[in-house]
Amino acid sequence: MVVGLVAVLASILLSRLELGAEALKLCLQIAVAMIAASLFLTALFVRQIVEDRRQIGESEQRFRRAMEDSAIGVAIVGLDGRILQTNPAFATMLGYSREEIEALTFFQITHPDDLQIGRDTMIDLKAGKIDAFHFEKRYLRKDGTPVWAQLAGSVIRDEDNGRPLYLVSQIEDIDARKQSEARIAEAETRWNFALASAGQGVWDLDMRKGGTTYSGTWVKMLGYADGELDGDPDRWLTMIHPDDRELVAEADRAHLAGETPFFEAEFRMRHKDGHWVWILDRGKAIERDAVGRLIRAIGSLTDITQRKEAEARLIVSAAMLADEKERLRVTLQSIGDAVICTDAANRVTFMNPVAEKLTGVTSGEALGKTLGHVYWAVDEETGQRIGVARASTGGTGPAEQNSRAVLIRRDDTRCSIRQVVSPIMNERAEFCGLVIVFQDFTDARALQRQLAYAAAHDALTGLANRSSFIRTMEELVDRSGKADAADTTGSVGDTTGSIGEHQFMFVDLDHFKLVNDTGGHAAGDALLKRVAEAIRGVLGPEDIVARLGGDEFAVILMSGSAASGMIAARSIIDAIRGLNFTWDGRAHSIGASIGLAPIRAGCGEVDEIIARADAACYAAKAAGRGCVSAAPDEDLKGADTAPSKRLAAAS
């Protein structure tokens, strides 16, 4: 437009210079054209600006709408930590209104233990070290309870100078997932302990952690130290016998492809010292990603070397019996296991010297007699006779194993045995008799019982230990709940009785530390044994006593009201007070404080009962020690859980 005006002015000035009419006309035409072009371009520019503003407005509207409607929290945070703007989802997650939460800073709503990660992230953003962030932390709800959240966001910078302006964060509530992970971890701990007690090794493949971890039982099975095999998820494959790798790979492929519900294979693995160990490996994929790739799998390994060796011996024995009976006899005479053979009529046809020794019957006396005159085995638990299987005509005749049999000799003495009974089939698949292979399992069975006892009892006092006591309490609480449900839903005429009330006592010794400090741990141990005897001595044979750890004991009165529980508790206190314990010539006097809580329908879970009794014991100590305090009944109301929470907090 300016150029056009200049052209008009130039045409006017030129007119004074007496130029021709054609020249003036041409100048005016040029000026008008330039003005028209400028007006057209101006209109285009104005239209573009209006369109840009409209698109910006729509974009802002979409952003605000998306932020408002988002199912996860969104917050805009200033560089000073103030919450500039948030959406309803974030405010609801923390129990605030939008106005309340936008008046706070992220420091005020962050759990104290997680403040540092937020500060470090803010410092790195301001310094330009990072442009985005992603981490987990805990917020504090309005009522003060923590909630786990996952944050993902980025910094918004000035387009001209790159200076950070504010942060935009997306906050997802993952509290339920975190609690679930904690429960899974606890369950895995119990599971691993149970497997370790049974002598089974455990492996855990987690691709997110980048490797496989093995339990102590697993690595010791192969002669390694704890942690020596952790890491490389494929290392175990290199330890498998070359002849067995294809079998293992096929079982692994079938499970990963979903063709089998779990992975199971028997194979040989190289021990650290070089020999081969037969392994039974069972596992299962428990987590996969969206496309089906394995994320996590857990399994167990069992040493089955002895079983495989026994199976091998049985296979060899059966083959020799079918091909050359005399050579089999020579072999069976020298075998380390006891062997008895019968014919199809169940008459004894062969006994080796080991079988003669274990049964107390000579081969000459046994031959031709029915098996029951020579070999009488019963189940260790039920006392029922263990019959020997006779294969049906045309059957394959699998071996039958039993590891809890007891052999009753002719003189009525008993011997724990492990037996394998295999039917003998001829080439026409007809039953021809039995081969009974058994071993003296007395020492091994005794060791198993000792291990089972040690796993459930305190080594010092002989009382039930914490884990077995908790299991007993869980069973009682479960039975109480089921009995209450049966009483509530039972029809008219239902004779199902309600289970009796039990009383739980938490016993804590008073002034015990002084004995340890002056007499040493030997004195403390001796005193704990005396205390255990004293508690056991004032209770009935059906009552349960346990040592929870240190100087803490627990008691379950199997029957009785709260009043009888108070009487029993005072008896325990009197018995402990009257111990008259002396060590190295010095007399020591201790006492006990007891918290009492009932076990009945509606009493809550085991940890709640223990928490109530623990809080009551704390109250007894606060009242001067050497006394008993009962948990108040109002703590048992199912609709009001706040008192039990206060007791747990006090504990």
Q: In whole angstroms, what is the distance from residue 400 CA to residue 398 CA? A: 6
Distance set, CA 595 to CA 427, 535, 604, 619 (Å): 73, 15, 17, 8
pLDDT band at residue 574 under the 50/70/90 scheme = very high
Residue 507: strand, helix, or coil: strand
Name the residue among 503, 509, 498, 574 with its Cα closest to residue 543.
Answer: 503
- Average of per-residue pLDDT values in the chain: 81
pLDDT digits (tens, 9 = 90+) for 12-23: 665 555 556 777
Q: CB within 8 A of 44, min separation 6: which ones?
A: none
Cα gap 150→309, rounded to integer Å: 54
Radius of gyration for the chain, computed over Cα atoms and rounded to the nearest angstrom = 41
Predicted confidence band at 125 (pLDDT cuts at 50, 70, 90)? confident
Domain annotation for the chain: domains and CATH numbers: 57-179 (3.30.450.20), 199-309 (3.30.450.20), 335-388+402-448 (3.30.450.20), 457-483+500-630 (3.30.70.270)
Is 633 tagged catalytic? no
Residue 486 to residue 410: CA distance in whole angstroms:
50
Sign of torsion, CA 218 220 223 229? positive
Give the E-state strand segments of 376-449 in sequence order. Answer: 377-379, 400-408, 414-425, 431-440
At residue 466's C-alpha, the angle toward residues 465 and 470, to 5°, is 120
| pLDDT tens-digit series, residues 154-177 | 888 877 787 888 888 888 888 888
> What mean pLDDT do residues 245-257 have?
88
Contact 172, 182 (CB under 8 A): no
On whether the CB atoms of residues 473 and 599 are closer than 8 A, the answer is yes
Main-chain dihedrals φ then ψ at residue 640, nearest 5 degrees? -120, 95
Q: Is 389 helix (H, G, I), strand (E, B) or coil?
A: coil
325-347 average pLDDT score: 79
Distance (Å, rounded) from C-alpha 52 to C-alpha 61? 14
**Which residues, listed in sequence order, are joined to residue 503 by a DSSP beta bridge?**
557, 598
- Whether 301 shows a pLDDT value over 90: the answer reads no
Confidence at 396, pLDDT banded by 50, 70, 90 = low
* Residue 624: exposure state from Cβ atoms within 10 A (0-12, 13-18, ≥19): exposed
Confidence of residue 4 (pLDDT cuts 50, 70, 90): low
Q: Is 186 exposed, middle or buried (0-12, 13-18, 19+ CB in 10 A)?
A: exposed
Average pLDDT over residues 95-102: 87
CA distance readout (Å), 217 to 221, 302, 551: 6, 10, 31
Q: Dihedral angle at the C-alpha atoms of 333, 334, 337, 339, nearest 10 degrees?
A: -10
What is the model's pLDDT at position 627? 93
The first and second tokens of residue 306, run together, are 């002895």
Query: DSSP letter at 97?
Result: -
Among the listed residues 303, 551, 614, 635, the single catalytic one is 551
> How many other C-beta atoms are found inside a 10 Å radius of the C-beta of residue 511?
14
What tokens does 105 get? 């800073």
Reported as type and span, the H/E element at residue 350 is: strand 348-351
The CA distance from 577 to 595, in Å, is 17
Query: Of 619, 614, 628, nearest to 554 (Cα)?
Result: 614
Residues 594, 600, 602, CA angle at the centre, nearest 5°?
115
Mean pLDDT of 527-550: 91
pLDDT, tens digit, 9 for 90 and up, residues 580-639: 888 988 888 899 999 999 988 888 889 999 999 999 999 999 988 989 999 886 544 443
- What residues form DSSP beta bridges with 297? 205, 285
Spatial CA neighbour of 234 closest among 252, 216, 215: 252
Q: Which of 577, 573, 579 is nearest to 620 (CA)?
A: 573
Contact 217, 201 (CB under 8 A): yes
Q: What is residue 60's predicted lDDT score, i.e. its pLDDT?
A: 62
Q: What tens digit of pLDDT does each residue of 461-490 get?
A: 889 899 989 999 898 888 877 766 666 554
Determine contact, residues 590/576, Cβ cutoff 8 Å: yes
Which three-class secondary structure state does DSSP give residue 578?
A: coil
Q: Cβ neighbours of residue 614 under 8 Å, at least 6 residues apart?
A: 506, 595, 647, 650, 651
Rounded distance between C-alpha atoms, residue 337 and residue 102, angstroms? 81
pLDDT of residue 647: 37
Structure tokens at 449: 């019982």
